[in-house]
């Protein structure tokens, strides 16, 4: 047990400086341009799926929530909302940036998620005949007030340095706990049995990963990314899991959009697209 604890702590501490640098850069971008990016999402018209997917890739707490609010006010379409949700990667980028040798894989994952988000969002809007942006207006002051309420726990408005440190320590704690749990499981049930539990090597693994991704918390993306880095998740599975992981956006959608049936359909579509995309990608990888 002592060996597991010490190994977990040492491995986690090694990535702490890289994690802080990543969040420092992300906070700088967010503070400098977040309002412009929010405006771009609501005024991008026929390019909304592309803009939504690009904004969703940016690892910060707000865009999936903004998209949910805009959709609830019918400012953006279902396809744009789903594009943002599918593109959202939560903690993938900061964590994988701490492993420079994984940069190529990170780029592949992000490009794949962008393509999936744009294509799926466009197809969905075509099917439900909502290509044009709805004429409904929304209360921007209300949206920004909500964004403030949602993000105030991370001190986003109290300076880049303080916010970066808070985010870094928060994710470091998640990494520490999740890595420790994984090490304990592997130690006591064996590596092979653990891989069987998460269907490692199976074409069905994206089903499991997508369920994990639906958990509206950054711990889900931390877990998925950690498992992928350790080699327990396939490329298709990590993409599937991260595609269904819209973070707090899912919570905001159910809170602001009173149509429960519509919300469940959206969640079902996101899950289906994530699983389907993951299986297709794994099949392509196996053929190659």
Report how many domains make up the chain: 1
For residue 30, the model assigns a pLDDT of: 62
pLDDT by residue, tens only, the chain of 288 residues: 677 677 777 766 776 776 677 667 667 756 665 566 556 655 666 677 888 888 888 766 567 777 887 788 787 889 999 999 999 887 788 889 888 899 999 999 999 999 999 999 999 988 886 555 444 444 444 444 444 444 444 444 556 788 778 877 877 787 788 778 777 876 777 767 767 778 888 899 999 999 988 887 677 888 889 889 988 899 999 999 999 988 778 887 888 888 999 999 999 999 999 999 999 999 999 998
Phi, psi for residue 54 in degrees, rounded to 5: -65, -40
Cα separation of 229 and 260, whole Å? 36
Cα separation of 95 and 99, whole Å? 8
Burial class of residue 214 (count of CB atoms within 10 Å of its CB; 0-12, 13-18, 19+): middle
Which residue, among 24, 233, 164, has the nearest Cα to 222 in the 3D structure? 233
3-state SS, one letter per residue, for the chain: CHHHHHHHHHHHHHCHHHHHHHHHHHHHHHHHHHHHHHHHHHHCHHHHHHHHHHHHHCCCCCHHHHHHHHHHCCCCCHHHHHHHHHHCCCCHHHHHCCCHHHHHHHHHHHHHHHHHHHHHHHHHHHHCCCCCCCCCCCCHHHHHHHHHHHHHHHCCCCCHHHHHHHHHHHHHHHHHHHHHHHHHHHHHHCHHHHHHHCCCCCCCHHHHHHHHHCCCCHHHHHHHHHHHHCCCCCHHHHHHHHHHCCCHHHHHHHHHCCCHHHHHHHHHHHHHHHHHHHHHHHHHHHHC
Residue 24: how many other CB atoms lie within 10 Å: 16
Tokens of 199: 């269907």
Distances from the Cα of 275 to the Cα of 123, 237, 271, angstroms: 17, 8, 6
- Domain of 257 in residue numbering reads as 2-287
For residue 135, the model assigns a pLDDT of: 41
Q: How many residues does the chain have?
A: 288
Write the CB contacts of 42 (distance below 8 Å, at least 6 apart in sequence). Answer: 70, 75, 76, 138
For residue 58, the model assigns a pLDDT of: 75
The answer to whether the CB of 67 falls within 8 A of the CB of 33 is no
For residue 205, the model assigns a pLDDT of: 93
Cα separation of 108 and 98, whole Å? 16
């Amino acid at each position: 047990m002592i060996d597991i604890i010490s190994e977990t702590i040492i491995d986690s501490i090694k990535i702490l400086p890289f994690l802080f640098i990543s969040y420092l850069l992300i906070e700088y971008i967010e503070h400098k341009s977040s309002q412009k990016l929010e405006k771009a999402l609501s005024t991008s018209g026929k390019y909304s799926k592309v803009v939504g997917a690009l904004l969703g890739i940016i690892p910060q707490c707000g865009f999936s929530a903004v998209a949910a609010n805009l959709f609830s006010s019918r400012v953006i379409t279902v396809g744009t909302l789903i594009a943002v949700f599918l593109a959202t990667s939560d903690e993938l980028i900061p964590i994988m940036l701490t492993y420079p040798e994984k940069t190529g894989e990170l780029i592949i994952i992000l490009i794949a998620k962008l393509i999936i988000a744009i294509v799926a969002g466009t197809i969905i809007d075509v099917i439900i005949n909502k290509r044009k942006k709805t004429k409904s207006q929304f209360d921007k002051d209300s949206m920004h007030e909500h964004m403030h309420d949602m993000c105030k726990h991370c001190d986003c408005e109290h300076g880049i340095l303080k916010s970066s440190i808070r985010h870094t320590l928060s994710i470091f704690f998640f990494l520490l706990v999740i890595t420790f749990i994984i090490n304990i499981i592997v130690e006591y049930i064996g590596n092979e049995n653990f891989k069987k539990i998460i269907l490692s090597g199976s074409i069905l693994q994206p089903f499991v990963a997508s369920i994990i991704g639906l958990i509206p918390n950054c711990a889900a993306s931390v877990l998925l990314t950690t498992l992928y880095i350790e080699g327990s998740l396939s490329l298709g599975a990590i993409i599937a899991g991260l595609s269904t992981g819209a973070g707090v956006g899912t919570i905001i959608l159910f809170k602001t959009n009173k149509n429960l049936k519509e919300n469940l359909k959206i969640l079902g579509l996101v899950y289906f697209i994530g699983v389907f995309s993951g299986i297709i990608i794994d099949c392509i990888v196996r053929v190659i």
